């Protein structure tokens, strides 16, 4: 079970995170409020939280508050919450054809779904010592140990089974807009796929009455039929509604239902997933990021648990709704689907689509729109276009080293890249600001995520040395500062992964106070608390053989959204920003910082 940290640990960690962001006077005030909270109302809330947690052993203390945080948010899901992860191209270039790839990835996704639902999907396990535990012999032995003991057997060899409670929401699921708080909806009995092209909606069954998958050649035939449909895009594309403010969308949805669209909407909501087929090729990585992160707004249904997007040249990616689950569940799905669709493709470029009458099997959904709905769609489009217009996406690839070199120098690769983010911001804006790094707590029952706070007194000291006084320090001194940052970041990462951060605990206590109608404690009304939770640099990393690129929008209007990957011999970075910040310049500063750090580690300055 996810532990509730000790209150004194949480306060200590909170103050450590505040230190680099505040002046001495500000810090004294925040420290006083924190200790006052720890001895008074905070202690009472903490004891209530622990008692409540002990009465709800089937879940974790963060589950309810976290769902609420997402589902009560009223901002549009696109750009604010939905991230994207794009697939690597199929290694066999002739398979990167829109029709072939759409068929192969869809078939692999359905295989994954059937495997999962039949209880045959291998558990997700984090192996700290893979040569001992990630072996056939270990799997054979553990299979015969009763489940009440098997986790202990795994634990003995440093293998940690991860929580898989989110997986069922991958399929037949959608987020329904409701006033004040949305709802998650899943209908596992639905057998059809939703396909979008040119803003039009098509559905056809991919599972038959006996629960068997449609033949790949038939799926291919139906996709071919949809791709050759010449109907123009609708004058009022419904997809734009899923880009709206959630309350606005909830009211428009009620209008849609009252206007005779209940059955068509039911088809959209319950579909296995949404496949979006785009009619253009990808120009470059920036164009790829824009396409997968937001697209044109008309050819997506952002409320579905995920949209599988495939462009004209067979480039594929996932855009997923974030309330139901986190990156680990989607990444496992993406890894399996990539491996299966490339190693055991269902169709080849030579395959002929089945000779079936797709015009009977495929149904194009028709929506009845009144003037209010048409006006709503027009307004949603204007707002969406304006948001996208304001968004900048920029990328760099740093090829002067990566994970291998950093490990050889005995420093944490993640710590070094996070240090570069701090250094770059100091170089560009001359300050240290609230920074967020996401860390999975899936090692625990119903764990979600915890925050790592990469901005520390160590990164501040090291950044200042590099940016302001490089010539004053010897290479050895600078190396020492990097090692200190690496050690501290390693500790923070370990704590977060073990459920020992401070952010979720403080969030849970605040949520409890509000739910009990208690006046919000002064501690939470401190400007420093608000500032720490206004995450100007929001970061997330992933590394996978299936993923080419991942990214997300800034979480605040004056922030950066930083998706990054540390490969064996290079580092990739994808930054989103709005006009309040210059993402292109920030990336140049990150590049310069990485260059400086690598030079120092190599003994050059």
Q: Are strands 84-87 and 173-176 parallel, antiparallel or unpaired?
A: unpaired
Q: Compute how many other C-beta atoms are within 10 angstroms of the C-beta atom of residue 95.
A: 18
Q: In degrees, to the nearest 5, what angle opens at C-alpha 287 toward C-alphas 283 and 292?
A: 125
The answer to whether the beta carbons of residues 231 and 198 sit under 8 Å apart is yes
Residue-level pLDDT at 523: 98
The two three-digit tokens of residue 234, written as one number: 């609708």
**What is the per-residue DSSP string for 250-286?**
HHHHHHHHHTT-HHHHHHHHHSS-EEEE-SS---SHH
Please write the tens of the pLDDT for every residue from 443-479. 999 999 999 999 999 999 999 999 999 999 999 999 9
CA-nearest of 362, 417, 25 to 201 is 362
DSSP assigned state of 207: B
Residue-level pLDDT at 149: 83
Please write the tens of the pLDDT for every residue from 79-92. 999 999 999 999 99
Please write the tens of the pLDDT for every residue from 187-241. 999 999 999 999 999 999 999 999 999 999 999 999 999 999 999 999 999 999 9
Burial class, 66, CB count within 10 angstroms (exposed 0-12 / middle 13-18 / buried 19+): buried
302 Cβ contact list (under 8 Å, min separation 6) = 76, 77, 78, 82, 242, 243, 319, 321
pTM above 0.95, yes or no: yes
First to last CA, the chain: 47
Cα of 23 vs its chain's centroid, Å: 34
Reply yes or no on whether the pLDDT at 436 is more than 90. yes
CB < 8 Å & 24+ apart, contacts of 521-528: 521/37, 521/41, 521/42, 521/45, 522/33, 522/36, 522/37, 523/33, 523/34, 523/36, 523/37, 523/41, 523/42, 526/29, 526/30, 526/33, 528/18, 528/21, 528/22, 528/26, 528/27, 528/29, 528/30
Q: Are strands 547-551 and 84-87 parallel, antiparallel or unpaired?
A: antiparallel
Please report the domains of the chain, with CATH numbers, ordered by start residue: 7-69+392-602 (3.30.559.10), 80-119+175-390 (3.30.559.70), 125-161 (1.20.1280.180)
DSSP assigned state of 213: B
- What average pLDDT score do residues 104-116 get? 98
Helices (H), 368-474: 371-390, 403-408, 413-429, 457-468
**In this prediction, what percent of the chain has a pLDDT beyond 70?**
100
Q: Compute how many other C-beta atoms are within 10 angstroms of the C-beta atom of residue 372.
A: 12
Distance CA 253, CA 185 (A): 15
The answer to whether the beta carbons of residues 425 and 474 sit under 8 Å apart is no
Q: Quick one: pLDDT band at residue 177, thresholds 50, 70, 90?
A: very high
List 563's β-bridge partners, or say none. 540, 574
Distance CA 459, CA 486 (A): 9
Please write the tens of the pLDDT for every residue from 25-56. 999 999 999 999 999 999 999 999 999 999 99
Please write the tens of the pLDDT for every residue from 332-387. 999 999 999 999 999 999 999 999 999 999 999 999 999 999 999 999 999 999 99
Reply yes or no on whether the pLDDT at 583 is more than 80. yes
List 176's β-bridge partners, or say none. 183
Residue-level pLDDT at 154: 80
Q: Compute how many other C-beta atoms are within 10 angstroms of the C-beta atom of residue 371.
A: 7
The answer to whether the beta carbons of residues 597 and 419 sit under 8 Å apart is yes
Residue-level pLDDT at 309: 98
Reply yes or no on whether the pLDDT at 555 is more than 90. yes
The two three-digit tokens of residue 151, written as one number: 């986790």
Which of 138-142, 147-151, 397-401 is the most confident on average?
397-401
579 Cβ contact list (under 8 Å, min separation 6) = 390, 392
CA-nearest of 419, 507, 537 to 14 is 507
Reply yes or no on whether the pLDDT at 605 is more than 80. no
Residue-level pLDDT at 148: 79
Query: Average pLDDT of the chain?
Result: 96
Residue-level pLDDT at 579: 98
Reply yes or no on whether the pLDDT at 155 is more than 80. no
- Would you say how long the chain is, in residues? 605
Distance CA 317, CA 282 (A): 12
Please write the tens of the pLDDT for every residue from 269-284. 999 999 999 999 999 9
Instruction: Single out the catalytic residue among 322, 446, 458, 505.
Output: 322
CA-nearest of 594, 564, 603, 600 to 419 is 594
Distance CA 514, CA 2 (A): 22
**In this prediction, what percent of the chain has a pLDDT beyond 90?**
93
List 435's β-bridge partners, or say none. 537
Name which of 133-147, 378-392, 508-522, 556-570 the model is least confident about: 133-147
Residue-level pLDDT at 541: 95
Residue 222 is among the residues annotated as catalytic for this protein:
no
Burial class, 174, CB count within 10 angstroms (exposed 0-12 / middle 13-18 / buried 19+): buried
């Amino acid at each position: 079970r996810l532990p509730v940290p000790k209150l004194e640990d949480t306060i200590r960690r909170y103050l450590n995170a505040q230190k680099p962001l505040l002046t001495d006077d500000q810090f004294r005030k925040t420290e006083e409020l924190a200790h006052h909270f720890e001895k008074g109302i905070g202690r009472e809330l903490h004891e209530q939280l622990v008692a409540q947690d002990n009465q709800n052993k089937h879940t974790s203390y963060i589950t309810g508050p976290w769902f609420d945080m997402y589902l009560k948010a009223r901002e549009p899901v696109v750009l604010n919450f939905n991230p994207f992860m794009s697939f690597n191209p199929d290694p066999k270039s002739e398979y990167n054809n829109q029709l072939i790839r759409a068929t192969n990835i869809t078939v692999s996704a359905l295989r994954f779904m059937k495997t999962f639902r039949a209880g045959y999907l291998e558990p997700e396990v984090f192996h700290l010592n893979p040569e001992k535990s990630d072996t056939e012999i270990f799997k054979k032995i553990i299979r015969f140990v009763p489940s009440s003991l098997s986790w202990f057997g795994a634990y003995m060899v440093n293998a940690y089974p991860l929580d898989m409670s989110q997986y069922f929401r991958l399929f037949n699921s959608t987020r329904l807009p409701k006033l004040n708080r949305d709802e998650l909806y899943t209908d596992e009995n639905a057998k059809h796929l939703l396909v979008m092209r040119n803003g039009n909606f098509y559905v056809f069954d991919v599972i038959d009455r006996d629960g068997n998958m449609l033949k790949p050649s038939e799926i291919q035939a139906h996709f071919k039929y949809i791709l050759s449909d010449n109907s123009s895009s609708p004058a009022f594309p419904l997809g734009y509604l899923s880009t709206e403010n959630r309350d606005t969308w909830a009211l428009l949805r009620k209008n849609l239902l009252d206007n005779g669209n209940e059955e068509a909407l039911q088809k959209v909501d319950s579909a296995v997933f949404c496949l979006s087929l785009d009619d253009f090729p990808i120009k470059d990585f920036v164009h790829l990021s824009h396409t997968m992160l937001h697209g044109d707004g008309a050819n997506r249904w952002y409320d579905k648990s995920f949209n599988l997007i495939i462009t004209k040249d067979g480039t594929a990616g996932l855009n997923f709704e974030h309330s139901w689950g986190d990156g680990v569940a989607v990444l496992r799905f993406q890894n399996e689907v990539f491996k299966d669709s490339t190693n055991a493709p269902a169709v080849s470029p030579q395959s002929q689509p089945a000779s079936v009458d797709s015009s009977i099997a495929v149904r194009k959904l028709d929506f009845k729109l009144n003037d209010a709905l048409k006006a709503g769609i027009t307004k949603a489009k204007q707002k969406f276009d304006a948001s996208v217009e304001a968004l900048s996406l920029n990328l760099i690839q740093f090829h002067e080293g990566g994970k291998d070199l950093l490990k050889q120098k005995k420093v944490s690769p993640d710590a070094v890249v996070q240090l570069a983010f701090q250094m770059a911001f100091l170089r560009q804006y001359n300050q240290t600001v609230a920074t967020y790094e996401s860390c999975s707590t899936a090692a625990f029952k119903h764990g979600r995520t915890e925050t790592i706070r990469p901005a520390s007194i160590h990164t501040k000291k090291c950044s200042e040395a590099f940016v302001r006084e490089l010539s004053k320090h010897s290479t050895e001194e600078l190396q020492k500062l990097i090692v200190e940052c690496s050690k501290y970041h390693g500790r923070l990462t370990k704590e977060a992964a073990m459920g020992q951060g401070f952010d979720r605990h403080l969030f849970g206590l605040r949520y409890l106070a509000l739910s009990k109608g208690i006046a919000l404690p002064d501690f939470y009304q401190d400007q420093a608390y608000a500032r720490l939770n206004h995450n100007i640099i929001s970061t997330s990393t992933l590394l996978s053989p299936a993923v080419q690129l991942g990214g997300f929008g800034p979480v605040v209007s004056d922030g950066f959204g930083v998706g990054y990957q540390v490969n064996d011999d290079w580092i990739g970075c994808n930054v989103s920003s709005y006009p309040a910040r210059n993402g292109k310049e920030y990336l140049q500063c990150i590049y310069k910082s990485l260059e400086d750090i690598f030079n120092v580690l190599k003994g050059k300055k």
